[in-house]
Amino acid sequence: MTSFLGHFHPLFVHLPIGILVVGLLFKAISLKSENPIYEAILPAVLLASFVSSVFSAGSGYLLSLSGGYEKDLLGYHQWAGIALTVLTGVLYFLVTKNKIKSLQNVFWIVSAGLLGITGHLGGSLTHGENFLSFSEEKYQKPVIVNLPEAKVYTEIIEPIFAEKCWSCHSAKKQKGGLRMDGKAFITKGGEDGAAFLAHQAAKSRIILRAQLNEKDEEHMPPAGKPQLTEKEIKLIAWWINEGADFNKKVKELKATAEIKSILANLSTPSISQAEPDVPKENIDAADEKVIALIKNEGVAIVPVAINSNYLLVNFNGRKVKETVWENLKKIGDNVVWLKAKNLTVGNGNLEVIQSMKNLCQLDLSGSDIKNEDLSKLAELKNLRVLNLNYTNVSLQGLEALKNLKSLRSIYLFSSKISKTDWPKLKAMFPKTQLDSGNYQVPTFEKDTLILKKEDLVSE
């Protein structure tokens, strides 16, 4: 209930503002005009202003309880608002009793000033402190295309600072005297000195403050603001411990297995975060008998989710019999993920894959697929993830896939893409994440889980 009433604050505040502005206007006119009407109407206007101010102060207080506002700013806004309310009340009293005329005029002027201040602070609270500035440059978060070549500071660390720290530590504001939007500023530190000590994350203020309990006054970012994740803190600490260099690339820094896995996820967020790779509308179940026949040949074949008729098929890196392909063809529409690692292309098996019109994820890593075969995949309109790690495909072959609109990621580690081809490939697939790997090949967490269960059952 309180928060419900609090939400009316933005509505209420405009009343006293409007009424007081009218009062100020009449007051100004009354100084020049002979007409007594302007003077006479002032008590009524002041009373209306006072009453509506009380309402907006009350609703404002309730709104502030919901949190999420910056403490300092909120405090100033609140006290300015209360002062303004009291002032209009006193002014109403003086005007109706016709007392201390000279003081009345001072109060009118002060109320105008307070109105401006309260309003501006309120605007800053809701719209951010620079809501009146027009020249705001938007920070563009870089997209990591080739992880080992990515600049650690500009492509990994700075985006974190930009998102979680710059609102208070950049050109606009330097809380604690600290700016974090540039090498020179971060290196300079804040009022208390250095923000980080190269090679010593554990002694660096950035890390120390992030690790404090969120309730602690010194915790960064302050409570109620978007917080750093565990992984982000680890990445920043890694960067500091590796020397806090502003130019080095990922491949130039030593990384533990844990950091490598965090990094790998940075460049392939699509696997875990994007919509699941299953078509929205369900489909009729595939023939159980056919599924059983396929299973009998040692192929894992399971629903991608509970209550889903879509299937994940995994050859587990083994060569499968031709009958498996014949049976797969019968239930092709149900297959959405196909893991055909180490596939030997031939006997029409690519044609079977080609007919799987709902296929979303295809793993052909380590297969002997050739450039000229890739055109067969160009019909897979739902394909989102294509793993071609350890294959002989190159730029020429991949061109055939450039019209696949839903392709999100192509894995190309240890393929025949040369260094000079990468920029061309990027131009060819502007919206697709191209992964040259060098770190672990992402496994799709979900299916390893299902497969483990499956393994238990069959053993």
State how far the Cα of 83 lies from the Cα of 385, in Å rounded to an integer: 61
Residue 407: exposure state from Cβ atoms within 10 A (0-12, 13-18, ≥19): buried
| Binds ligand HEC (CB under 6 A): choice among 17, 147, 157, 165 | 165
Q: How far is the CB of 160 from ligand HEC (least distance, A)?
A: 7
Q: Alpha carbon of 105 to those of 24, 27, 85: distances in Å?
A: 10, 9, 17
Token output for 186: 């971060």
Check if the beta carbon of residue 365 is closer than 8 Å to that of residue 414. no
Q: Which C-beta is closer to ligand HEC: that of 206 or that of 302?
A: 206
Q: Which C-beta is closer to ligand HEC: that of 185 or that of 325?
A: 185
Going by C-beta distance under 8 Å and a sequence separation of 6 or more, which residues neighbour residue 416?
391, 392, 393, 394
| Binds ligand HEC (CB under 6 A): choice among 205, 339, 384, 408 | 205
| Binds ligand HEC (CB under 6 A): choice among 60, 190, 332, 437 | 190
Q: How far is the CB of 233 from ligand HEC (least distance, A)?
A: 9
Residue 446: exposure state from Cβ atoms within 10 A (0-12, 13-18, ≥19): middle
Residues 166 to 185 in contact with ligand HEC, rule: CB under 6 A: 167-169, 175-178
Site string for ligand HEC, 214-233 (x = CB under 6 A): ----x-xxx--x--x-----
Sheet harboring 433-435: ordered strands across? Answer: 300-303, 311-314, 335-339, 361-363, 385-387, 409-411, 433-435
Going by C-beta distance under 8 Å and a sequence separation of 6 or more, which residues neighbour residue 424?
395
Q: How far is the CB of 224 from ligand HEC (least distance, A)?
A: 8
Does 70 interact with ligand HEC (rule: CB under 6 A)? yes
DSSP annotation string for 191-248: TTB-S--TT-GGG-HHHHHHHS-TTSTT-SSPTTSPPPPHHHHHHHHHHHHTT--SS-
Q: Which C-beta is closer to ligand HEC: that of 188 or that of 249?
A: 188
Select the span of 58-66, 103-111, 162-170, 380-388 touching ligand HEC (CB under 6 A): 162-170
| Binds ligand HEC (CB under 6 A): choice among 191, 281, 284, 459 | 191
Residue whose beta carbon is closest to ligand HEC:
190
Check if the beta carbon of residue 147 is closer than 8 Å to that of residue 266. yes
| Vertex 107: Cα angle to 103 and 112 (nearest 5) | 155
Q: How far is the CB of 118 from ligand HEC (least distance, A)?
A: 21
Select the span of 191-199, 238-246, 397-405, 437-445 touching ligand HEC (CB under 6 A): 191-199
Q: How far is the CB of 143 from ligand HEC (least distance, A)?
A: 21
The count of other CB atoms within 10 Å of the CB of residue 114 is 21
| Binds ligand HEC (CB under 6 A): choice among 9, 27, 77, 164 | 164
Site string for ligand HEC, 227-266 (x = CB under 6 A): -x--------------------------------------
State how far the Cα of 160 lies from the Cα of 239, in Å rounded to an integer: 12
Check if the beta carbon of residue 128 is closer than 8 Å to that of residue 167. yes
Q: Which C-beta is closer to ligand HEC: that of 21 or that of 197?
A: 197
Number of residues that bind ligand HEC (CB under 6 A): 24
| Binds ligand HEC (CB under 6 A): choice among 192, 287, 322, 351 | 192
Judged by the rule CB under 6 A, the positions of this chain that interact with ligand HEC are: 70, 164-165, 167-169, 175-178, 189-192, 195, 205-206, 209, 218, 220-222, 225, 228
